[in-house]
Amino acid sequence: MSEGRTILLSAALAAVVAALTTTLILASHEVERSIRGLVVVKAHVAPPATETKPADSKTPAPPVAAEIGSDVRGAVAETRRAGSLYVFLVPDEAAQVEVTLRSDDGAVEFRAACGGEVPEKVSDWMWDSTDEDGVATLSLARHAQSDLRPGPLFVEVRPSDPAGPGDAKRSLEFTLRAEVTKLPAPRAIEAGRGVDAETSPESGHRADFVIDVPEGATALRIDVVEADRDVDLLASSDGPAIDDDAAEWTATSMLARESLVLDADSDPALPSGGKLRFAVIDPSLYEAPVKFRVVVSLGAEPPAEVLAIPQLPRPADPRELAVAVAAVVEVVVDDGSGSGTIVSESGLVLTAQHVIGDRLGGSGADDVITVAMDLDPTRITRELFRAKVVRQDDGLDLALLQITSGHYGQPLPAGYRFPACPVAFDGVPRLGDALVTIGFPEPGGTGSRSPVLFSKGVVSGFEREKSGLRIKTDAFVASGSSGGAALDERFRLVGVPVFTITETEGSAQMGFLVPVTELPRAWRELIAK
Average pLDDT over residues 121-128: 93
Distance CA(429)–CA(517), nearest Å, equals 10
Give the per-residue pLDDT at 439: 93
The dihedral over CA atoms of 452, 457, 463, 468, expressed in degrees to the nearest 10, equals 40
Average pLDDT over residues 227-233: 93
Spatial strand order in the sheet of 259-263? 193-199, 290-298, 219-227, 259-263
Give the per-residue pLDDT at 174: 94
Give the per-residue pLDDT at 14: 35
Q: Which residues pair with 486 in a beta bridge?
A: 437, 495
Give the per-residue pLDDT at 461: 94
At 431-470, the pLDDT tens digits run 999 999 999 987 555 566 778 999 999 999 999 988 889 9
The amino acid at residue 246 is A
Q: Is the pLDDT of residue 182 over 90?
A: yes
Average pLDDT over residues 396-425: 95
Distance CA(207)–CA(211), nearest Å, equals 14
Greater confidence (501 vs 259) lies with: 259
Total number of residues shown for the chain: 529
| Lowest-pLDDT range of 67-71, 191-195, 260-264 | 191-195
Q: Note whether 209 and 240 are within 8 A (CB).
A: no
Q: Is the pLDDT of residue 39 over 60?
A: no
At 271-326, the pLDDT tens digits run 988 999 999 999 989 889 999 999 999 999 999 989 999 988 776 665 678 888 89
What phi and psi, each to the nearest 5 degrees, are found at residue 363? -140, 5
Average pLDDT over residues 467-479: 90
Distance CA(339)–CA(357), nearest Å, equals 13
Using DSSP, state whether 32 is helix, strand or coil: strand
Distance CA(156)–CA(55), nearest Å, equals 8
At 107-118, the pLDDT tens digits run 899 999 998 899
Average pLDDT over residues 397-408: 96
| Mean pLDDT, rounded, of the chain | 84
pLDDT band at 149 (very low <50, low <70, confident <90, very high): very high
Give the per-residue pLDDT at 318: 57
pTM of the model: 0.80
At 354-372, the pLDDT tens digits run 999 888 776 666 678 999 9
Q: Which of 373, 370, 380, 367 minimizes the C-alpha distance to 408?
A: 370
Distance CA(234)–CA(281), nearest Å, equals 8
Share of the chain above pLDDT 70, in %: 84
Measure the CA angle with vertex 227, ends 223 and 228; round to 5°.
170
Distance CA(483)–CA(442), nearest Å, equals 13
pLDDT band at 198 (very low <50, low <70, confident <90, very high): very high
Strands of 133-218, DSSP E: 135-141, 151-159, 171-182, 187-188, 193-199, 206-213
Give the per-residue pLDDT at 503: 59
